Structures are given as C-alpha cells and as structure tokens.
Structure 1
Amino acid sequence: MPNINSGDTALVLISAALVCLMTPGLAFFYGGLVRRKNVLTIMIQSFVSMGVVTLIWILGGFSLAFGHDIFGVIGDFTQYFGLRGVTIAPNPNYGPTIPFLVYFLYQEMFAIITPALITGAFADRVNFKSYLKFLVLWSLFVYIPLVHWIWGGGFLAKLGLVDFAGGIVVHVSAGIAALASVFFVGKRTILPGESTAPHNIAFVALGTGLLWFGWFGFNGGSALAANGIAAIAFVNTDIAGSIAMISWLLISWIHEKKPTMIGVLTGAVAGLATITPAAGFVQPWAAAIIGLLSSGACYAAVQLKIKLDWDDALDVWGVHGVGGILGSICVGIFAVSSVNGVGGLVQGNVHQFLVQTFGVAFSAFYSFVITYLILKVLDTFSSVRVSVEDEKEGLDAKLHGESAYDLQ
C-alpha cells in the first residue's frame, strides 16, 4: 500500500489505544466520586459501553456516521455495514495516509466514551437495563447524527463548522444530554445524615491521570498524521489542562477557604475538555487563555447548578457541557490560519465565529431534546429509575449482587 505512511499509522493506532484507556479512566474517576454503595454500578456503565458501542459501530453505526452523505443528514447505512469496504487501504476523505480500518478503530473509541460521560449526571438512580437501552438509542439518534453532521460531511461541515477532536461531538452532546437526564430522572434519594461526598478521592486521582494521559491521543491523534498539527495539539492539551487545574485550585481555594484535591482534579478535566475542539487550530498562547477561561466558566456553572438545585451528581453539564460550548466558540475567536487553515475573530473572520456559535447552539438543542425524548419513551415501557428502596440500599447490591469493598 504505497499511500500508507508508517509514522502516521503508528500515531493513530497508539492514539486509539490511549482513547480506549480513557473509558476505564472515566470508570475510576466516576467510581471514586460516588457513594461506596454505588461504585460498581457506575463503573460497569462505562465498561459495558466498550462492548455495546463496538457492536453498534460494526453493525451500521460507522456507516451511518461516515458513509455516503444523504441530504446532509446521515450517512449511507449499507456502505460500510459489517466493515464492508473498511480495509487496510486508505480512504482519501478520512486519513489519506492511514488504513481506513485504523480510522474506524480510532473513531470507535470516541463513540465508546461519549455516552459513558453522561452517566455521571444520573449516578446512583438509573436501572441498568434501562441504561443499556439508552446507550443504544442515544448512540444511534444523538451521537451518530452529530458525527455525520460535523465530521462525516453533513450540513454543519458544509457550513464551515470545525471541531478538531470532539468539543461539540463529544463534550457538548454528552454534557447537554446529561442536563436533560437530570431534569427527567430527578434528584437522588439522600438519607438523613448521609454524605454525598466522594467516597474514594484516590480513585478520582487515578481516573484523572488516566484521562489526562489518554487525552493526548484524543486530541493529538485527531490530526490523523504525525505532523506539526499533532504536535501543537499535544502541547495545547497539556497547557490548557495545566492552566485550568491551577486556576480552578485558586478560585476554589478563595471561595471554599481550603485547597482541595477534588478542585485540582476537576479543574484539569475542565481544561482538557475545553481545549478539545480548539487543540489543532490555535497557538499555545491561546490554549493558555482557553485554559484560564475554562476554569472560571466551568466553576461558575457548577456553582449555578448548586444554586438551582440541579442534581447533576458528578458535574457532567458544568464541566463537559459548558467546557465544550466554550471551547467550540473559542475556535471562532482564537483560531489562526497558520496552524490549520482556519481563522477566527483574531484574524477578522467573523463568519467562522458565527458558524461556531450556531453549530454549538443547534447541537446542544438537538442533544437536549432527543435525549429527553429517548428517556421519555423508555420510561413508558419500563421505569428508567430504580425504586426508592433499591436506591436507599445501594445499587451495587440490588442490581448486580456485588460489593466494591467486601471487607470482613
């Protein structure tokens, strides 16, 4: 295969493995944040996505996302069904120097982690059977259409919208879906005197480390080549995550009077989520600004959630939703054509800013409405939420018959 570049292929293969590692990382991150009676329940929701979404991706999901465009709305279901036509030969539209099979694998890892992100919002109170149905339907009716619209040649791509590594496709879609699920499912049942504080901050730290490590593949690999764009995406990822971590620590220290480990970890994730859509379009100085902005915006969103009494248990909306929205709009502000051919307001390109803003608003609205409708339909057949009695006892024991800590 003379068109295959071994360096490009190696980068994307390694990046796919890094993104794969992010889902177990998310399981530890969320697992440490919940109460000890629900640890396995939320961790299995992340791990099971690896199996279920892989099947979806093989059996038509990838084809719907990246198949021949049909009216700018969806891809041809049959073109790549069962990996037909997905071979070691490159596809000129999707990584012209890497095997198309490698591109399939890389995109599959994004598809796996995105719905898993949502679970942090409705932690401790959703039936596992309902979650499995939700996982399938949400992937088919929210995630895959968004992928096609933005990365698969759909109508938003034709308008000129860009999203380097998933600010809209991953973080806005999951973060706004999380908010819709919070409104539909309702608040957790908290017993008198029961603490909802993270039960194992060491797990959260481990998860954050795995996520940060994987994020280099998440953003850097999206260049689909071992080139300067990949290099700048790697650097921007580190800068934004680091700046957001420190600035969140300072903000929370001033507001809460103590420096907390959770503040450090949450700030890092907020910065990493916010830089994602811009990582391959902006200079490092802009990544530093984006990291700084992300900590302020996401911290404010978390405080607003508390004030409004929204039970987004693990702050998925405040961190991923708001971070993804901010980062995607920042592309329209800070992108410079010398990096990757796209200019923003700093270069006088008002059109790109308007396209980014419209794309964010439309995608967020779509994700919220369809997510709510999916939950509504599922609930008409079988309750999405567990019983109050099961919730009080803990879902690990009631739903899975297991305990994360079998201490004698």
Structure 2
Amino acid sequence: MKKDKEQTTILPKPIKFGLYTLLIFSVLLSFCRLIDLAGLFNFSYGHYYFPVNQKIPFFRQGEREFAEINEFGFRIGTLKTNITCSYLLLGDSQTFGSGIFKKDSFPEILNRETNCHWVNVSIPGFTLENEFSMYEKVSPSFPSKDVYLFVYGNDIYETGDTPDYLHFVNHQKWYFHIVAFFFPESSRLYLKGIYFESIQKRMEEELERVSKLPYIAPDTKAKQEEVIDFLPIKTLFQISPSYLSSSLDTKTFAKKDFERWKQVFFRLKDKIEKDGKHLRVVYIPLEVEFDRTRYDVYENIGFKMNPKWLESDSELVLDLIQLTQENHIPLIDLRKWMRYRTDLLQNGDIHLNEVATRLIAEILKKDLQ
C-alpha cells in the first residue's frame, strides 16, 4: 500500500521535465522583458538623407527645380550674414515644402522677410525618430536660439508599425524574430535603424533613376484641365485603411504608438535643453482637421471618420496641449488659422500649397514679436 501511495504522488519524468522547462522559460522571458522595458539597449534612431554635396531635382506640378544638398544631406537654404537670431527647424515634407518651389516654402519666406536665419533640416517622410537623429548630427554645426519642432497630424502613424515597415520586418532572418520575441521594443528600435538605412538606399537608387530620365516640361493647359481623382489618398486607403485613427486617436486606437512617440519627444526635449536651447512646437493639422471638402473626400473613399476631428479637437491635439503645458513648452496650434479653409492644399494631394506656407510664415513672424 505504501508503494502504491508513493507512485500516485510522484509525477512521471516527462511531465516534470515539461514543468521545469516551462518554469525556466517563463523566468527567462520575464527577465528579458524587464531588461527590454528598462531600455538598457540604447540604439540610435538613425535617419536617411539626400545624397550629400549634389544637385537634386525637385518638382512642382511637373516643373523641375534643382537644389543644392550640403554635407549633412539636407537642402541648402538661403545663407545669411549679419543676423540677430537663428532657428533650427525639424519636420517632414510639410516643413520641407514638397510640391512647391523652395522660395515658396515658409522657411525660405522667413529667411527673406526676417533678420533671422531659419535652418530647415526637414526631409520628406521624416519621423520624430529621424528628426531627433538629424538634430544630433547637425546641431553642433548650426548654433541656434530656439528649435522649432513641426508636428504634422500623421506623425503618430509614422512612428508606429506602418505597412512598409512591417513588410521590411517580415523579410528579416528567422533569428531576428526570436530575439524580437524576448526583446520586442529593443529589437524594434534596432530594426528601425536598419529600416531607415534601407530607405536611404532606395532613395538614392530612385534619385539616380530619375536623374537619367529626359525632362519634358509640363503642358500647363492640360494641367489646368486635369480631373482631380485623389489617387494618392485612394492608394493610402488601400494600403492603410486605419490611417486616420492611427494618427489622431491617441487615447484609444493609437495609444501605444503615442507612448512611443512621447519617449522620443522627451529624449529630444532633454537633448535640446542640455544644449542650452529652447524647444517650440508647431502643430500642422491633417486636412480632415480643417478642410470640410477633404473631410468629405476621405469619408467617400471609405475611411472611418470622427466629426470631432473637424469640429472640435482630436485626441492627438488634446494630448499635445496637455504635454506642452505640463512641460512649459510653447505650442502654436495652426488649426486656429487654418480651420474651415479649403484653399490651403495642393490639388488632389495632402501637401500644403503656397497660400498655406505664406500663412504659416506670417504666423511665425508674429510669434517672434
């Protein structure tokens, strides 16, 4: 009887081995996740840039304009002497001035019409990670009083796992996925740096291809008669139907990505303050936050819409207001001047036109007073 009792209380060896293995795996996973959350693996964010010390073609409705690229990989703006103040501008394509001539971008208007030097280091497609990385690279060479961070309405979406980034991740080696399971945020940060390097390579290849194509001046009459079909926006919907919620719903749908964005934001803020400079934030709203016509276009295409984006405040705006107030950072919310205007966007495109850049330049000039 005693022997039978012992046999009933002792687990078979395969089950014991399985339980011990599960216990060890759980402890190891918890340990790795704690290290991951502590951020001990501090990888650089990285950024891409235009081919250095070259002339690059840019286009406005098919009209070509060449621009000089400096040794840091961003477009050279107006060089000024005998200035009384200098500002560094961090942003993406809206701040760069995509789709318009350089002279009509608001940084260049400010360079012409103020006695300050506005150094625009923005590059189309930049995320906040890229902007921080670019700032670290160029700030020693461009002393400035203030740093203007231009937050565009889709910055949270771009900080997240975009379809292009996920496509890149899915093509990584199998062992990357194993490491990412144990260290998800650290692996993501590391892979983002490699991802930005891949963008750099693709951009250089595309620029080389475009530079070899024969230039054909656009037919201005045909351009005027062109029917606007909003193809870029329709393509965006096919690629990412949750684009708007992933950008603006920071308390709900995009909460995790907003937390990631804030981590980068605070690192940038601390770096700027350590350099003895001041940070100023300018919010450039998405078109559905100010343009009724574009709101209807997005709704008709199929995007899930929220009337609060247009009529009041998105979750992103409310979070930005709270974030800047708590940290005593000046915030210029451009919605105050842009709301309900339908004349600020390029035809069929998401980018600001010359009317909008003139408006922004005037707002920033008044901010200096």
Structure (1 or 2) with the greater helix fraction: 1
Higher relative contact order (CA 8 A, sep 6+): 1
TM-score scaled to structure 1, two decimals?
0.29
The higher radius of gyration belongs to 2
